[in-house]
Amino acid sequence: MGLMFVIAIGGALGSVLRYELSKIIQKKAGLDFPLGTFVVNLLACFLVGFFFSYLVEKINVSSSMRAFLITGFLGGFSTFSTFSYESYYLLVNGELLKFLLYILGSVGGGISMTFLGYNLGRVL
C-alpha cells in the first residue's frame, strides 16, 4: 500500500471524526461559542504530542504508521495540532524570535486572509 494512500485514509478518518465530535460537543454545550472546534483543536494538540513522544520516539512505529497517524489522521482531524507542534519545537530549541513570528504571523495572517477571502467572495 502506497504512502499517499495511507495518508489519505488517515486524513479521511480524521476529518470525519473531527466533524462528528465537533458537532456532538457543540450540541451538548449549547453555547454561542465554537466549543466543538476549540475542544477538537486542543485534543489534536495533545494527540500530536503523545503520538510523537510515545509512538514515534518510545516504541518507534513504522514510517507508514507514523504517516497514517500524524500526517493523515491528525492532519485531517486538525491542522492546528501541526501548528502547535512546530511552535513547540521552535520554542524548546531556543528559537524565540522564529517562535513569536510563526505564532503571530500564523494567527494574525490567518485571520487577515480569512477576512480578505470572505470579502472577495462577497464581491464576486
Taking only the tens place, the pLDDT of each residue in 98-122 is 999 999 999 999 899 989 998 998 8
Say if residue 53 carries a ligand binding annotation. Answer: no
Q: Is the pLDDT of residue 1 over 80?
A: no
For 47-102, write each residue's pLDDT tens digit: 988 888 888 788 889 999 999 998 999 999 987 887 898 899 999 999 999 999 99
Counting DSSP H helices and E strands in the chain, the numbers are: 6, 0
Ligand-binding annotation for 75, yes or no, is yes
pLDDT tens-digit readout, 25-50: 999 999 888 899 899 989 998 998 88
Cut 0.85: pTM above it: no
Integer Cα distance of 56 and 17 in angstroms: 22
d(CA 3, CA 67) in angstroms, rounded, equals: 7
Contacts of residue 15, defined as CB under 8 A and 6 or more positions apart, other chains included, come to 76, 77
Cα–Cα distance measured from residue 46 to residue 10, given in angstroms and rounded to the nearest whole number = 17
